[in-house]
Amino acid sequence: MRLFIKKKSNMQWLVYAIDKKSKRVAGFYIGKRTNKTLNTVIKTLLNSNPEKIYTDNFRNYKYLIPKEIHETKRFGTNSIERKNLSIRTHLKRLNRRTICFSRSVLILTSILKLYFWS
C-alpha cells in the first residue's frame, strides 16, 4: 500500500503479509518499494515454512520467493486488498484524499503495530 511521510514527494510503501486462513498480519515493513523492503517481510514468511505465498505480478517477487511456493493467481490477493481498504478506512492518516498525514515513520510503525496486533 502506498503512503506518504511528511510530504507527497516522500512516497513510502507499507509491505505486509497476512495469513490466508486466520486473516492475521504476519509481518510488515515501511520503506521504498525495493528488494530490501520486500525481503524483510518475505524472510519472516519463509521462516514460518508456508505452503504457498500468493502475490501480485510485481516482478521483484520472482527473484525473492522460491518458485515452488510462489503463486500468482487471479483471486489470490483478494484478502489483502480488502485489508488495505479496512486500514485506509480506520486510520485517517492513510486515507488518500485528506489533510492528515504521518510525520514520522516511527510513529506510523507504532500505530500500525497497535492496529495489527492489539
User: Which pLDDT score, from 0 to 100, does residue 57 have?
Assistant: 86
Q: Choose the CATH number for 2-117 among 3.20.20, 3.30.70, 3.40.190, 3.30.420.
A: 3.30.420
- Kindly provide the b/e burial profile for residues 90-114, where b requires at least 16 CB atoms within 10 angstroms of the residue's own CB: ebebbeeeeeebbeeeeebeeebee
Binned at pLDDT 50, 70 and 90, residue 28 comes out as: very high
The 10s digit of each residue's pLDDT in 13-25 is 999 999 888 889 9
Nearest Cα to 55, choosing from 28, 16, 86?
A: 16
pTM given for the model = 0.84
Domain range annotation of the chain? 2-117
The 10s digit of each residue's pLDDT in 62-107 is 999 999 999 998 888 888 899 989 998 888 888 767 777 788 899 9
Asked if 42 contacts 60 with a C-beta cutoff of 8 angstroms, the reply is: no
The 10s digit of each residue's pLDDT in 29-57 is 999 989 999 999 999 999 988 999 999 88
